[in-house]
Amino acid sequence: VDTLEANRSRCVGMAANMIGVGKRIIAFVDEDLGGRVTVMLNPVITASDGAFDTQEGCLSLAGERRTLRYRRIEVNYEDRRFRARHATFTGWTAQIIQHEVDHCNGIII
């Protein structure tokens, strides 16, 4: 969360492995919650629909790359108190989560 906040002017999401922490943790700016930073432990995308092509940038790369994303996703994860959660996300927030989960899975756009 600290690294995301420090780079907030140029980034909207961060995966723990991007900063050398070998854990499946993501933090992202949740526009649906007024720009609050949300943290997910062990996120797994369980459903998706509404595929679309887009261009994304990443702190790990220069420039943008083409990628396939989904307009709506469902995610199983644990919150900061290790409580199991399931939630649906759409739009920009869904896109950010997909990007960060890709990082957790060793995928860089």
Beta bridge partners of 39: 27
Provide the 10 A C-beta neighbour count for residue 13: 24
Structure tokens belonging to residue 82: 């290790």
Per-residue pLDDT tens over the stretch 41-72: 999 999 999 999 999 999 889 999 999 999 99
**Within 13 Å of residue 50, how many CA atoms lie on the same side as its CB?**
11
Examine the residue annotation and report whether 100 is marked as an active-site residue of this protein: yes
Q: What is the model's pLDDT at position 109? A: 87
Per-residue pLDDT tens over the stretch 5-48: 999 999 999 999 999 999 999 999 998 888 899 999 999 999 99
Determine the 3-state secondary structure of 47 from DSSP.
strand
Q: Which domains are present in the chain? A: 2-104 (3.90.45.10)
Are 109 and 26 spatial neighbours (Cβ–Cβ below 8 Å)?
no
Q: Which of 5, 56, 64, 100 is catalytic?
A: 100
Q: What is the model's pLDDT at position 34? A: 86
Q: The whole model's pTM is what?
A: 0.94
